[in-house]
Amino acid sequence: MRLLDRYLGTTVFSAIIMVLLLLISLDVLFGFIAELRRLKLDYQVWEAITYLMLKMPKRIYDYLPFASLIGCLVGLGSLAGHSELVVMRAAGVSLWRIVWSVCKPMLFLVLIGTAIGEYVLPYAEQKADSERQLLRDGKEPGQLSKSGVWHREGDDFLHFNVVDPDGVLYGISRFTFDEDRQLIESGYAEKGIYLEGHWLLEDVKLSRFEGDHWVSETYETKRWETELTTRVLNIISLDPEDLSVQGLYEYVNYLESQDLDASEQALSMWQKLLQPVAIIALVMISISFVFGALRSATMGLRVFIGVLFGFTFKIVQDLLGPSSMVFGFSPIIAVTVPIVLCLIFGWWMLRKAA
């Protein structure tokens, strides 16, 4: 049985890796063509290549579920095409034993994907975006660049042109409003460095409203006391889907403490938390297809069905997610419904095939 497990696992694992490499290669090619149109200042071809390499962890994490679905169809489909699965069943190997042999390499891939999403992807994403922004706009981006990060802290509205994950900010704008939503103070700093619980701002310009006129001040350096730490900034500067589960959990708590809406972050947290289960559900669907409706189908048809089902699964998830924020039902429901439906359908198809 060990030899059988190794043979099935190697076949499926190799097919998944092949599909994953193909998907990533196509995405990188199209991404490189798109980046060539954005070359500017110090951001040239080599820097664009570096940017795409830093984006690689996100591509691996995003494509892993679809590669698992299509790879299982391709790997098991090749075995079915050579009647090897029929021989295994005739030799007394149960269907559920084959399912377990296929799921073993999937557990390894799930662990790798989870590790990438938790420990590699957030840093790589922020490093890629911050480096590109600095190279394209220079070390002194100027006030309120088109890109950047907006954040609210109490009565202060903050904008950071570039947030470097190593604890450096570029282009820091701050606007303070009173209870009547009237601007009473504004400030801008070219750079900020995090030092033991506070920020040291450089080249600071402040303006505040006193009486009936504005008063302006400038400082070479100025201490800035705020609750924003490098950890918090590294969280808020990323899109929710690029954060780790731990980062999303902290971000949700932080937004709720500021009386801000955290539904989008909560949705992303549950999507990431349940992605391993989603991968297993998609694998069950692919196995059920091979032993059921697609047992004698051609390889091209199997791949087509896999792509079609994968896109359908993604579309349903993308529709239910925003719907939970619009209609007010729990994001857990929006994430779990497609996964549970896949598990039930896959189990039912396997029961029929057994």
Mean pLDDT of 52-80: 89
Helix (H, G, I), strand (E, B) or coil at 260: coil
d(Cα 351, Cα 354) in Å, to the nearest integer? 5
Buried b (16+ CB within 10 A) or exposed e, 26-50: ebbeebeeebeeeeeeebeeebbeb
Helix (H, G, I), strand (E, B) or coil at 20: helix
> CB neighbours of 253 closer than 8 A, spacing ≥ 6?
none
d(Cα 71, Cα 255) in Å, to the nearest integer? 40
Indicate the domain borders of the chain.
2-136+274-353, 149-236
230 φ/ψ angles, rounded to the nearest 5 degrees: -60, -35
Predicted confidence (pLDDT) per residue in 124-148, tens digit: 998 998 888 888 875 554 556 667 8
Q: How many CA atoms lie within 13 A of 229 on its CB side?
A: 7
- For the beta carbon of residue 122, count every other beta carbon within 10 angstroms: 23
d(Cα 19, Cα 66) in Å, to the nearest integer? 9
223 φ/ψ angles, rounded to the nearest 5 degrees: -80, 140
Confidence band, pLDDT 50/70/90 cuts, at residue 297: low
d(Cα 221, Cα 216) in Å, to the nearest integer? 15
Predicted confidence (pLDDT) per residue in 14-33, tens digit: 999 999 999 999 999 999 99
* Average pLDDT of every residue of the chain: 85
> Which contiguous run of DSSP H or E holds residue 149?
strand 149-153
Mean pLDDT of 298-304: 70
d(Cα 18, Cα 71) in Å, to the nearest integer? 8
Whether the pLDDT of residue 86 is over 70: the answer is yes
d(Cα 170, Cα 2) in Å, to the nearest integer? 57
